[in-house]
Every structure is written in structure tokens, then in C-alpha cells.
Structure 1
Amino acid sequence: MRRFIIVVVAIHSCILSRAQDQIHFVKADEEKATETNFKCGINNPSGLVFRFGDGLADFGEYPWMVAIIKKSNTTSKEWSDKNYLNAGTLIHPSVVLTISYGLEKLTPNKLKCRAGEWNKNTEDENYLHQERNVRRIVTHRDYLKASLLNAVTLIFLEQPFDLSEAPHVGIACVGQTLPEPGTKCFSTGWGMSDAAGKSDILKKIPVTLISAADCEAKMRETRLGKIYRLHDSLTCAISADDSCKGDAGAPLVCPVNGESTRYTLYGMSAYGIQNGAPCAYVKVPAFYSWIGERMAEEGFNSDSYTYLP
């Protein structure tokens, strides 16, 4: 009996030691993320705490993801689908890039931005989301709501998001030139999709960039008809799933030079027509200069979202 107890204690010690090694490994990853999330475009491909399967993002995997929310008359901080307006992308601790649709008549005091969100229906996570009030909304002067042309908006916050102790919150790099057609990318958001339906947990949907000519040809097969032309402010991507339902402004990010942990923002979800057709995205590189100019007017430079190896 005494020998049995000794064996059990030895086994227990071995298991505990392995568990501690595993905890140490996770902690090391978190510390690394904290040190590097000031550099743009760095994701956490294995998640910081929780890992999920295909179609769902791991916790902290896309740290630049922002939810733009309409303030309610209550003091509740719980997620409300009716108040969720658009997805956005953090390009500076104090600046969110998003699509203009849905924000046309809203003043800054009616909005707030949430970063670090993952499972929208729980706060039982190792790192909580952060919310910031909005100071100013700047929309492109040539924005056309009816056709979603030039639909780009910058949201300037009253206070910056805190990145120092938040490995699940980070900044995206902003692309200057669109990658070649055929590039494999991801679109992320909480909206509807054919495969995953409506998800409480942040989704990631693989998409493939297609050329303007291919996009026009496919769109002309829809109710848009034979005269459809893709505007220069838009680009297209296609996927096995439908990535453009209920997530206006959802970021489309592509890997940098084949890196598996570095991504750049090239699009924001604009509209989809029907299943099987491409999704149209705001072509972010078309507004790279505009973004820089508006940032400079507010006293910010482009260093935060500029890719550096």
C-alpha cells in the first residue's frame, strides 16, 4: 500500500510539472504578444487562451478587430445586436477605420468603440474588452450611400485603447497596393454566414481576391445586370462561405510576404448580392493617402499602421 501511495504521488508530481510547463508556455506567448502588439499587423495565430476550429477565430487572433456600437439609454455593458452597427479596424490606439454606411446621421456622442471583443455574450475571458467614446467622425467627402462608393470613415476616440497590458488588442497594418488576384486572405466579423450562421464568437472566413474583370463578370450574372461596373473604390473577394452578411466594415486582411503571423488590411466588407457571388469590399489602398492626410490633421502620423519588418 505504501509503495502504491509513493507511485501515485510520483505520477501526480509528473502531471503537475507538465501542467506548469504548459502554463509557462502560454504565459510566455502572452508576454511576447504584449511586447509586440505595438507593431502593426501581428496576430496571435494559436490564440492566447482559447482555441477553436475552422470558421471561428481563436481568442486574440485578430487583435485589431473593433465593434462600433450605438450607445443605448441604459448603463448595461452587455452586447446588444440591435446596437451593433459596423465592424472596424484599429489603425492607431486612438483611431478606428471603418465603412461609412450606417453612420451617416450619427453624432460622436451616440457612438462607442469596443476592442478586444471575442465572445460577444460573455465576459468570462482572461482579458476583458475595452470601450472608448468617440470624439470625431470623418467621412470621405465623395461618399455615395446609394452605391457605397468612397465609403471610408475614420473614427477618432476621446481616449486611446490601452495596448500595454492587453495582448488581445493591437493595430493593423494598412496596405498601400492591392495584392495579386488569387491571394488567400481572411475576413472577420460576427455577422451571418452560410456555414457558421450567426455566431457569438468572432468568425474568420477564408476568402480569395479576384480581379476587377472577374468580379464584374460574376456580378453581371446577378440582379445587378449586364451594365454593372466595379468602381475604383471597391475590390472583390470570393469564398466558399458568404462573408458579407451583417458585418459592414468587416476587415479583409492578407498575410504579409507569406508570413503566418503578420497581416495587412486591404478591404472592408461593403455588400454582397447573393450566395455564390463575390463580396464587394472598400478598397483600402485606394484611400491610403486620404487616411494619412486626415490623420495628420488630427495630429497623428502614419507610423502606427505602416509595415516594418
Structure 2
Amino acid sequence: MRRLIFVFVIIHSCIISKAQDQIQFVKTDEDKATVTNVKCGANNPSGLVFRFGNGLADFGEYPWMVAIIKISDTSSTQWSDKDYLSAGTLIHPSVVLTSSYGYEKIKPNELKCRAGEWNKKAEDENYLHQERNVRRIVTHKDYFKDSFYNAVTLMFLEKPFDLNEAPHVGAACAGQALPEPGTQCFGTGWGNGAFTNESDILKKIPVNLLSVADCETKMRETRLGEIFRLHESLTCASSADDTCKTEVGAPLVCPVKGESTRYVLYGLSAYRIQQDGAPCAYVNVPAFYSWIGERMAEEGFKSDSYTYVP
């Protein structure tokens, strides 16, 4: 009997040890612990329930996708196009990374973030979306609206998203250095905004990263003219059919070499000149990797949630 008990204790300890290798505990504002998957950037390549093609993401395929919404007077949870402001990326259960454009005069208590959304017109998906109010907005001190320089913003939430029993919600990894030009990546979004084709279902758009030289050459052929220089806070990508445009703040993620189900965030949709052949500009996330970590630390959060670990 004692031998059986001893064996059980060993097995139980091994199970606990293995489980602890897969999770980490994140301190929240309420000083409670919530569990989140250590492996950021893990997508659901086959979808959790639905399978789609033709430029549409599968359900839960990009679990870090966030919709930033203006809080309305109604208590309805149904999607409202007029209240949807832009996209964002979940990098921690309590933190959303997005572009700064459009938030210059908006207060935190006017906003909420929605994670786990897919079909914005459906209310009967197997896993429901979650919403959290914004507690604090932190924008880069050198943000220049007119040229989209340093357009990076962190939104700290009143309470964390619940990642338990929510496989369609997860954090993205943040890139520390841009991949090589020519790398195929994906932009995601519903297409809300000027000059974009809207979709009820989340879109995924394949794009190819451009070098600085190629980006500047293509941009100089637009109304921006010969004086255009790509600012270090921006990067560039293009798509074969000029559909790289998505709503402001939408994530640009690239696959990790050798890992079919891991992606890293390298950009946030910034702008596109409405002209054939013009590439799309994105906020260069790696350029702000240290800034993100510093601002997170000021709020008492570690960088583990968005740090890529093979």
C-alpha cells in the first residue's frame, strides 16, 4: 500500500511539473493570478470550428486580434460599425498594442477592447467574444500624427481577458528585428475604414515585406513624390492585388521559420496611398520593442507574455 501511495505521489508531481512548464502566472491590477499560455503567437491553423478560404480567416486562427470599440449608451453586445474605431493586438491578458492614430483626444473611459471576435454579425459562435474596458492609454511621446511617425500606443485594461477555456483568445509575440525582405506575412482585419472593403468575417491578407529601398522607390511613384523617405518607425509591405490595406492598427504577423503554428507581430497597419502599385505602410513594431517593455514594467507587467520562446 505504501509503495502504491509513493508511486502515485511521484506521478502526481510529474504531472504538476509538466503543467507548470506550460503556464505562467501573471499579476493583475486586482493582485490576482490568471493563467496564460507561455507560448505567445500560437495560432489555430485549422480553425476551431469553421473552415473558410478566399482571404477569410478561420475561426480562432488569429487569437490575438482585438477590436477597439467606443463605449455607447446601450448595453447591447451586438457589433456596431459606427462604434468600431480600429484594430489592436493582444500582447498580454491586460494589454493591447495598437496604432496611435485616432486616439489623440479620446479618454480611456470611452473605450473597450473586444477579443475573440470573428464574424462581427454573429452572436452564436461556439466560443463567445470577451470585452474589457480600457483603464489607461499610453502613447509614444514622439508621436507625430501628420506623418504617422512613432504611432504606437498601449492600452491597459481594467481587468485581464480570461484565457482559460478560451482557445480563440491569446497573446501575440512581438518581434525584435524585422524578417528579411520578401518574407510572406499576413495582415488581418475586418476592413472597416476609408478605402477598404469591409467584411463581416475577419479577413487575412497575404503580403510580402519590402526593403527600405524598394519601399521608397514605390512610394516616390505616388503623390508623395521624390522627397519621400521611409521613417525608421515604419516598415513596408505589398500584396499582389493591392489589397494590403486594412483598418488602422491591424496586426501584421509573419510565420516563424520551422514552426507552422507560430507567428510573430512585426507591424501595425498605418496607411496606404490610394494608387495602383502603392505599398502599405506599417508601424515598425521591432523599433519599439524596448519602449513596450519599459511601459509595461511601469505598470507592473513583465515581458514574458509577448516574448518569443521556441
What TM-score, normalized to structure 1? 0.86
CA contact (8 A) 1:243 1:279 kept: no
CA contact (8 A) 2:246 2:269 kept: no
1:250 corresponds to 2:223: no
Shift of 1:54: 2.5
Mark the CA change 1:84 to 1:242 in structure 2 (over 3 Å): closer, same or farther: farther
* 8 Å Cα contact 1:187-1:243 kept in structure 2: no
Matched residues in 2 for 1:40 and 1:104: separation?
29
Matched, 1:103 2:99: no
Task: Give CA-to-partner distance per residue, 1:259-282, whole Å, 9 cap, x none.
Answer: 210000000000000242100000
Q: CA deviation at 1:192?
A: 5.7
Q: Secondary structure at the match of 1:240?
A: coil
The 3-state SS of whatever aligns with 1:137 is strand
Contact preservation (8 Å) 1:69, 1:85: yes
- Whether 1:302 and 2:303 are equivalent positions in the alignment is yes
Q: Cα deviation per residue 1:119-147 (whole Å; 9 max; x = unaligned)?
A: 00011100000000011000000000111
Q: Distance in 2 between matches of 1:164 and 1:301?
A: 20
Task: Report how far residue 243 of structure 1 moved.
Answer: 4.3
Aligned length: 274
Aligned to 2:153: 153
Q: Identify the residue that residue 284 of structure 2 maps to in structure 1.
A: 283
Mapped to 2, the partners of 1:174 and 1:153 lie a distance apart of 14
Correspondence 1:224 to 2:224: yes
Name the structure 2 match of 1:139.
Answer: 139
Kindly state the Cα deviation for residue 78 of structure 1 after the two structures are TM-superposed.
1.1
Partner of 1:175: 175
- Residue 36 and residue 103 in structure 1: after superposition, are their counterparts in 2 closer, same or farther (change >3 A)? closer
* Counterpart-to-counterpart distance in 1, 2:185 and 2:124: 30
1:213 aligns with 2:201: no
Alpha-carbon distance in 2 for matches of 1:285, 1:137: 20
Q: Distance in 2 between matches of 1:308 and 1:89?
A: 18
Provide the rounded CA distance (Å) in 1 between the counterparts of 2:136 and 2:153. Answer: 10
- Partner of 2:135, secondary structure, is strand
Q: Is the 8 A contact 1:268 1:281 kept in 2?
A: yes
SS in structure 1 of the partner of residue 53 of structure 2: coil
Q: 1:74 deviation in Å? A: 1.5
In 2: Cα distance, 1:106 partner to 1:263 partner:
31
Corresponding residue for 2:293? 292
Greater helix proportion? 1
Q: d(CA) in 1 for partners of 2:40 and 2:64?
A: 9
Offset of 1:241 from its aligned partner? Answer: 3.6
Contact 1:253 1:263 in 2 (8 A): yes
Q: Deviations over 1:22-56 (max 9, x none)?
A: xxxxxxxxxx9xx9844200000000000001200
Code of the residue aligned with 1:144 in structure 2: it is F
Match of 1:268 in 2: 268
The question of whether the paired residues in 2 share the 8 Å contact of 1:101 and 1:145 is answered with yes
Does 2:37 align with 1:52?
no
Aligned to 2:18: none
Contact 1:148 1:270 survives alignment (8 Å): yes
Asked if the contact 1:37/1:169 (under 8 Å) is kept, the reply is: no
Q: Is the 8 A contact 2:238 2:244 kept in 1?
A: no
* Structure 2, unpaired ranges of 5+: 1-21, 23-34
Correspondence 1:7-18 to 2 at 5 A: none
The question of 1:197 aligning with 2:176 is answered no
AA of the residue aligned to 1:292? G
- Cα deviation, 1:64-113, whole Å, max 9, x if unaligned, reads 00000011122221111111111000000000000000111011100000
Q: Could you tell me how far 1:240 is from its partner in structure 2?
A: 2.0
Unaligned runs of 5+ in 1: 1-31
Q: What corresponds to 1:93 in structure 2?
A: 93
> Alpha carbon RMSD of aligned pairs, Å?
1.7
CA distance in 2, matches of 1:70, 1:151: 20
Q: Does the CA contact (< 8 Å) of 2:205 and 2:244 recur in 1? A: no
- Larger-Rg structure: 1
How far apart, CA to CA, are the structure 2 residues paired with 1:175 and 1:296?
18
